[in-house]
Each structure stands twice: as structure tokens, then as C-alpha cells.
């Protein structure tokens, strides 16, 4: 049995004292799509490469409900090396509110690290725990962190023009990470941002190890028949250039700005375009997005296909294989996005925001073209470019293949082995 159901007692583990086995606690109280994806990826690689060493994922009751497929995957391994547990309902309820989530979440990490007799802990999303790690109780074991959104190095990137609020946020993040890296309990700081890894090594004093974490995902084989069936199910019209925006379609993802940019296209390009929007619409913008789609369908020849639902990580890649262009036209997005890796794997170009790490990687690796997605004219011009030009002219296919390989499951496995077995 390698998962605790919600009505069982708190997580515990069989004794491995003096066995030479390592036991790791991986703690995650978030339930968004990419958080589940990372647990799936870690679990898969651990079961294939690190058994019999143990990893115990501690999540919320909500995770068990929202991501039953991930729980079922872990159960299917039929090994004690990979286990998943839930905190109690009472503990989950105490995490309401930003401050409670930080400090009580950190206390729960310490509690379960003690209860599991963990040799080391991993905060799967550490950004919110930096303050309690510095000022709260010490961890009972060495702690490693996955740092998602460093921005203190963005001043070195092209096309980055921060306002005062962004400068202050970057300064705050810099101070916190410098303090964090001086903690005795800090083991490894992982970052999905390769540029941040280099910056920290060059500019910060630290006893902790700084490593890039490949932004990997489970690679599911996709057949030509599956792609053809998906295209048929979506009723995508023949000879349309399919531009895909996939993920949680909230304000940050920029669906409203995308629809406005499409409205500006000349009629000769509108008739060639299919906008494929896949993912759950944010409740605060759902009505407005649907209204704009209806207006586009009424006033233009653009085909808009909306799949307003969560798509499992196991079939996401099919949409990229179907598409001609991947859209990462987010609004001032901080950090990495697996969308550019999925696009590279599918051998299609990206139309990306020019902001931050994502824009910098697209330019450096020649993965597509970048635009200022906060500017409607610039956004529309970028959209026109990807519709009007053949995909092979928009990106470097060999660079894209190398980029996808650097974030492969094998790369993640090597990173985990180097960290977990010492």
C-alpha cells in the first residue's frame, strides 16, 4: 500500500534505520495543474531509478480529489519506495489565508519530516516558505527547495523594463534568498531558471548547492491516428493555421489580449487562423472571454475552438502535436513554462511574450518569435507573422530538439539521483 486515503491516520513509514536506505519527504500543499505534474514526474522517475530508496509525497486532501490520476499512478507502482499521503482535513482548513499558509504550512513540513524520520526534505514549491524557513522553527532534517520565480536577475535580460513595484519585489527576493542560503538546514536550491542558477553562483555567498532542475514531464507516445481523431473531435477546419494556448486560462495567460490581437488581423489572415484555447477559464474573466469569442465568430472568419476544461497531463502533448504554433503570450509571466519545452518536443515554433526568462529563452535558443503582449499592435503583428510564414522559418529545429532533450525525463532522473543518493 503506497498511499494513505483521507480517512487513515497521519503518514508514517517503516523503519529503515541502519539499512543504508534514504528516506525523502516531498511536501506540496498546492493543487494547481503544474504542481500535480511535478509530483507525477518525480514519482515516475523515482520508481524507475531510485528504488528502494523512499520518497514520501505529503499533499492535501484536495490534491487527492483533484488529481486522482496521479494518486492512481503512484499506487500502480506497487512499491513502498514511492508513497503519497494526505495531511488531515483539520490541518488543511488551518491553511486558509496567505500568512497561515506560509507559517502553518512550514510547521506541517517539520511535523511530517519528524514523523517520517526523513533523511532530507524537499519543498516542491518553496517560494512561499522562505520567510518561515528564515524566522520560524528549524527543520528536523536538511531541506532542499524548488524555487520557481526568481526575478532578481531580470535586470540583466533584454526587453525588461521594471517599474518601481517590480524593482522592490526583486530586491525583496534577493534579500530573502541570500538569507535562505546561509541557513544551516539548507541543502540544495533547485531552480527551473538556468540563468538564475548562474547568477546566484556568481553573486551570492552560499554553503548550499545551487542546481538547475530540468522542467521535465512524462513523455507519452502519440500516434498519427490520435492526432487525426483529436482534430476531428475539435472540428478544426482544413487549411487553418492552428495556434494553441493551453493551460489555466486566467488573466496571467492573456486570453483576452490574444482575442483582441486576433480582432486586429487583416481579413486575409483571419480566414487562415484557428485559435485553439484549451484549459479552464478563470472565473473572473470567463464571461468576458466567451463574449469576445462570440464577437470574433460574428465579425471575422477566424475559427475559435474553446475547450473550457482541465486536460490531464497524460494527453496534453497531443494538442501540441496537433498545433502549428504554440502561444506563450502570457502577461508579464515570471519563471519557466513547460509550454516552450512541449512546443520544442513537438517541433513547432512558439509565439511568446518577450518578458522575463521565457522571452529570453525563446530568443537565445531561437525557439520562435517574441512580442510585447501588453501592446495590442505588437501582439497582432506577431500573430500575423506566425500565420503568414511557414513554421520552419520561424524557429531553429535543431536548437529546439536540443532544448527539449535538456529537459527530458532522463535529465530529471540524473538530477534526482545526484541529489537523493549521497
Q: For residue 1, name the pLDDT band (cuts at 50, 70, 90).
A: very low
pLDDT reported for residue 160:
78
Q: Where in the sequence of the chain do the CATH 3.40.50.2000 domains occur? A: 23-216+407-420, 224-406
Give the three cell numbers for residue 244: 494553441
pLDDT reported for residue 18:
47
pLDDT reported for residue 335:
83
Q: By C-alpha distance, which of 145, 147, 153, 144 is closest to 198? A: 153
pLDDT in tens, 163-218: 899 899 999 999 999 999 999 999 999 999 999 999 999 999 888 999 999 998 87
CATH of span 224-406: 3.40.50.2000
pLDDT reported for residue 15:
54
pLDDT in tens, 305-336: 999 998 888 899 999 999 999 999 999 888 88
pLDDT reported for residue 307:
97
pLDDT in tens, 222-268: 899 999 999 999 999 999 999 999 999 999 999 999 999 999 999 99
Q: Specify the fold of 23-216+407-420.
A: Rossmann fold (3.40.50)
Give the separation between CA 258 and CA 254, rounded to whole angstroms: 6
Q: Looking at the predicted structure, is the pLDDT value of residue 16 above 80?
A: no
Q: Of 337 and 18, which is predicted with more confidence?
A: 337
Question: Quick one: which H or E segment has residue 191?
Answer: strand 186-191
Instruction: Decide: 323 and 347 in contact? Cβ < 8 Å.
Output: no
Q: At 374, phi and psi to the nearest 5?
A: -85, -10
Instruction: Decide: 344 and 403 in contact? Cβ < 8 Å.
Output: yes
Q: Lowest mean pLDDT: which of 114-123, 158-167, 368-377? A: 158-167
pLDDT reported for residue 33:
65
Q: Looking at the predicted structure, is the pLDDT value of residue 400 above 90?
A: yes
pLDDT reported for residue 313:
83
What is the DSSP track for 146-167? EE----TTGGGSTT----HHHH
Amino acid at each position: 500500500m503506497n498511499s494513505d486515503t483521507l480517512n487513515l491516520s497521519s503518514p508514517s513509514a517503516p523503519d529503515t534505520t541502519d539499512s543504508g536506505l534514504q528516506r525523502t519527504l516531498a511536501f506540496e500543499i498546492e493543487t494547481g495543474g503544474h504542481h500535480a505534474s511535478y509530483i507525477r514526474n518525480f514519482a515516475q522517475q523515482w520508481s524507475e531509478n531510485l528504488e528502494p530508496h523512499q520518497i514520501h509525497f505529503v499533499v492535501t486532501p484536495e490534491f487527492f480529489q483533484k488529481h486522482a490520476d496521479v494518486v492512481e499512478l503512484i499506487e500502480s507502482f506497487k512499491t513502498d519506495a514511492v508513497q503519497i499521503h494526505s495531511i488531515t482535513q483539520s490541518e488543511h482548513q488551518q491553511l486558509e489565508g496567505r500568512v497561515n499558509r506560509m507559517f502553518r504550512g512550514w510547521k506541517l513540513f517539520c511535523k511530517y519530516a519528524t514523523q517520517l524520520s526523513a533523511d532530507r526534505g524537499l519543498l516542491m514549491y518553496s517560494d512561499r516558505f522562505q520567510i518561515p524557513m528564515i524566522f520560524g522553527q528549524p527543520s528536523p532534517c536538511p531541506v532542499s527547495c524548488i524555487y520557481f520565480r526568481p526575478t532578481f536577475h531580470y535586470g540583466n535580460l533584454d526587453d525588461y523594463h521594471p517599474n518601481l513595484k517590480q524593482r522592490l519585489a526583486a530586491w525583496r527576493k534577493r534579500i530573502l534568498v541570500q538569507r535562505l542560503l546561509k541557513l544551516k538546514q539548507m541543502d540544495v536550491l533547485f531552480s527551473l531558471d538556468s540563468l538564475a542558477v548562474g547568477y546566484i553562483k556568481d553573486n551570492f555567498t552560499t554553503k548550499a548547492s545551487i542546481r538547475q532542475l530540468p522542467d521535465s514531464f512524462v513523455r507519452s507516445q502519440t500516434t498519427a491516428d490520435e492526432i487525426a481523431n483529436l482534430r476531428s473531435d475539435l472540428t478544426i477546419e482544413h487549411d487553418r493555421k492552428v495556434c494553441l494556448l493551453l493551460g489555466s486560462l486566467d488573466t496571467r495567460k492573456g486570453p483576452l489580449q490574444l482575442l483582441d490581437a486576433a480582432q486586429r488581423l487583416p481579413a486575409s489572415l483571419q480566414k487562415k487562423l484557428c485559435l485553439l484555447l484549451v484549459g479552464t477559464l478563470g472565473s473572473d474573466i470567463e464571461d468576458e472571454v466567451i463574449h469576445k469569442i462570440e464577437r470574433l465568430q460574428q465579425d471575422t472568419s477566424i475559427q475559435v475552438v474553446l475547450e473550457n476544461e482541465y486536460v490531464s497531463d497524460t494527453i496534453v502533448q497531443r494538442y501540441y502535436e496537433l498545433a502549428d504554433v504554440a502561444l506563450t503570450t502570457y502577461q508579464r509571466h515570471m519563471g519557466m513554462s513547460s509550454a516552450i519545452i512541449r512546443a520544442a518536443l513537438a517541433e513547432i515554433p512558439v509565439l511568446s511574450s518577450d518578458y522575463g526568462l521565457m522571452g529570453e529563452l525563446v530568443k537565445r535558443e531561437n525557439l520562435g518569435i517574441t512580442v510585447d503582449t501588453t501592446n495590442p499592435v505588437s501582439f497582432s503583428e506577431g500573430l500575423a507573422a506566425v500565420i503568414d510564414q511557414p513554421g520552419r522559418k520561424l524557429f531553429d529545429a535543431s536548437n529546439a530538439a536540443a532544448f527539449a532533450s535538456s529537459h527530458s525525463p532522463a535529465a530529471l532522473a540524473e538530477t534526482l539521483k545526484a541529489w537523493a543518493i549521497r
